[in-house]
């Protein structure tokens, strides 16, 4: 099927380009603070081992499945699922899986763009020396003032959305690929610089110990569930991004080998972020376990106190912006591709419509931190509600359904044709994607909604 069919949107020029794009989609704001923190919280190196096992058993099989489905369909996730459902002779309701991914990506970007706007604002703050005092009260006041200002949040949200849509409207080769060829190597260089600085601090060994020293006594059921959940969420699965990127993958590129590279690169970035961040935190006597506050309230204090803090503060927040942008372009691409395919409009027009819709929903998110802070839906702000619906409901359901469709609905000969692996290797993947991955994602789903 895919030998004679190509996406109307274009193709990646090489496996390296696809690896950069998919890794860029996977690497986001969460990688910079969440993985290093939860690794330290749940036993350091012991947790890393459990996490890598979960990536192999859950993340990789579903990623291979999602890329395979995308390449076989060669369209937006919505049209791909309609095509694959018909080809498999499955119930037409399976085509709803495409809609689930596209809508999830749209909703995620609406609040992701607002948070990315915080990072843009902090690039400017770092440049003008706003962290130079190093006083915790003043640093906290900077953050409080930022989220309390609707116009400031809207401005940066608008800037970030405009940058995202500028990249996407240029197409696969002229926009997405060119962007990730610049963003991802630059992101890696910035990380190397930050790691290099961390190595000069007196607390480098303490930071490494926090992140890597194995403490298996800290590995309990909750640690395993956390590792399982992060292994799924960190690879950007279930939101249409990997599927639409897979639709641009040339036929002669191995899906399985490429997926291994992507998972490895994603994990490497997260570990490097931890190696860079925690020595700086410990060297300044700060608390590493502050979650999102680590980025916007704790680290700026460190940058204000340390030698070279002006430069490294700018670099860190530029790193955040690049990580966010590489993810955001993948979140909106499925919707843009569907509009081009189904509404007979140009890519530019599709970007305008999709971008405006996302921007408009993002306004409600920005206002939920200030002028609409008292407005609640089921006791949640608009931001918290969108985050809960996507992360806790839509993505696990999407990942579960991808695993089930690829493992049980697709015809074996079609799977073999796409994966082009020895049958024994396909058998291992098939076992994981049929049984282990869906069962694990279902358990994660029950965990994140508070049932277990």
What is the phi/psi pair of residue 370, to 5°?
-140, -90
Total number of domains in the chain: 1
111-137: pLDDT as tens digits: 999 999 999 999 999 999 999 876 788
Structure tokens at 38: 């939860």
What is the sign of the dihedral through the CA atoms of 427, 433, 439 and 441?
Answer: positive
Query: Considering the domain boundaries, does residue 3 fall inside one?
Result: no
Region of residue 189 (phi > 0: left; psi between -120 and 50: alpha; otherwise: beta): alpha
| pLDDT score recorded for residue 351 | 97
At a CB cut-off of 8 Å and minimum separation 6, what does 382 contact? 364, 365, 367, 368, 372, 375
202-249: pLDDT as tens digits: 999 999 998 888 889 989 888 898 888 888 888 989 999 999 999 999
Query: Considering the domain boundaries, does residue 151 fall inside one?
Result: yes
Query: Considering the domain boundaries, does residue 6 fall inside one?
Result: no
The model carries a pTM of 0.93
At a CB cut-off of 8 Å and minimum separation 6, what does 127 contact? 314
What is the sign of the dihedral through the CA atoms of 306, 309, 310 and 313?
Answer: negative
Burial of 22 (C-beta count, 10 Å sphere; 0-12/13-18/19+): buried
Query: Considering the domain boundaries, does residue 168 fall inside one?
Result: yes
Q: For the chain, which ranges sit under pLDDT 50?
A: 2
| pLDDT score recorded for residue 250 | 94
CATH code at position 109: 1.10.4160
Nearest to 166 by CA among 175, 154, 178, 158: 175
Question: Length of the chain, please?
Answer: 452
Query: Considering the domain boundaries, does residue 430 fall inside one?
Result: yes
Q: Rounded to whole angstroms, how far apart are CA atoms 448 and 442?
A: 10
Structure tokens at 301: 């204090």
Quick check: 275 and 211 in contact, CB under 8 A?
A: yes
Structure tokens at 168: 């996407």
Q: What is the residue range of 199's domain?
A: 15-448
| pLDDT score recorded for residue 290 | 67
| pLDDT score recorded for residue 41 | 81
CA distances from 186 to 189, 260, 449 (A): 5, 22, 37
| pLDDT score recorded for residue 2 | 47
20-57: pLDDT as tens digits: 999 999 988 778 878 887 888 888 889 989 999 999 99
Residue 428: count of CB within 10 angstroms of its CB:
12
Query: Considering the domain boundaries, does residue 5 fall inside one?
Result: no
At a CB cut-off of 8 Å and minimum separation 6, what does 257 contact? none
Query: Considering the domain boundaries, does residue 218 fall inside one?
Result: yes
At a CB cut-off of 8 Å and minimum separation 6, what does 247 contact? 7, 9, 70, 71, 73, 74, 75, 76, 80, 337
| pLDDT score recorded for residue 450 | 81
CA distances from 217 to 43, 220, 221, 274 (A): 7, 8, 11, 21
């Amino acid at each position: 099927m895919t030998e004679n069919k190509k996406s109307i949107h274009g193709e990646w020029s090489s496996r390296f380009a696809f690896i950069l794009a998919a890794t860029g989609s996977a690497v986001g704001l969460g990688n910079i603070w969440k993985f290093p923190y939860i690794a330290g919280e749940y036993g350091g190196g012991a947790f890393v081992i459990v996490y890598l096992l979960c990536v192999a058993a859950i993340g990789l099989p579903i990623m291979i499945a999602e890329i395979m489905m995308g390449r076989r369909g060669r369209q937006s996730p919505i049209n791909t699922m309609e095509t694959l459902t018909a080809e498999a002779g499955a119930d037409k309701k399976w085509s709803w899986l495409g809609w689930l991914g596209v809508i999830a990506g749209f909703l995620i970007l609406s609040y992701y763009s607002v948070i990315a706007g915080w990072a843009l604002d902090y690039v400017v703050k770092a440049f003008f020396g706003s962290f130079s005092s190093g006083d915790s009260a003043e640093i906290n006041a900077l953050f409080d003032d930022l989220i309390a200002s609707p116009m400031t949040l809207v401005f940066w949200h608008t800037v970030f959305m405009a940058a995202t849509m500028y990249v996407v409207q240029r197409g696969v080769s002229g926009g997405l690929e060119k962007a990730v060829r610049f963003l991802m190597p630059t992101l890696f260089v910035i990380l190397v610089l930050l790691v290099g600085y961390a190595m000069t601090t007196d607390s480098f060994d303490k930071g490494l110990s926090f992140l890597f020293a194995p403490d298996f006594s800290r590995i309990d059921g909750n640690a395993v569930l956390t590792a399982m959940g992060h292994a799924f969420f960190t690879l950007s699965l279930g939101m249409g991004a990997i599927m639409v990127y897979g639709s641009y993958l040339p036929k002669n590129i191995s899906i399985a080998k490429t997926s291994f590279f992507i998972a490895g690169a994603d994990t490497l970035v997260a570990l490097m972020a931890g190696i860079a961040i925690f020595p700086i935190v410990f060297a300044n006597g700060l608390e590493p376990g502050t979650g999102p506050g680590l980025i916007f309230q704790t680290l700026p204090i460190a940058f204000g106190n340390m030698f070279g803090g002006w430069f490294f503060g700018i670099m860190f927040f530029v790193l955040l912006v690049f990580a966010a942008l590489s993810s955001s372009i993948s979140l909106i691409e499925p919707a843009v591709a569907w509009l081009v395919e189904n509404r007979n409009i140009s890519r530019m027009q599709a970007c305008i419509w999709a971008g405006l819709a996302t921007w408009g929903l993002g306004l409600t998110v920005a206002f939920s931190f200030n002028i609409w802070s008292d407005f609640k839906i089921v006791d949640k702000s608009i931001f918290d509600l969108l985050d809960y619906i996507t992360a806790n409901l839509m993505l696990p359901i999407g990942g579960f359904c991808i695993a089930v469709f690829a493992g049980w609905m697709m015809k074996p000969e079609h799977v073999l044709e796409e994966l082009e692996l020895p049958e024994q290797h396909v058998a291992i993947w098939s076992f994981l994607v049929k049984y282990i991955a869906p069962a694990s994602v279902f358990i994660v789903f029950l965990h994140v909604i508070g049932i277990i």
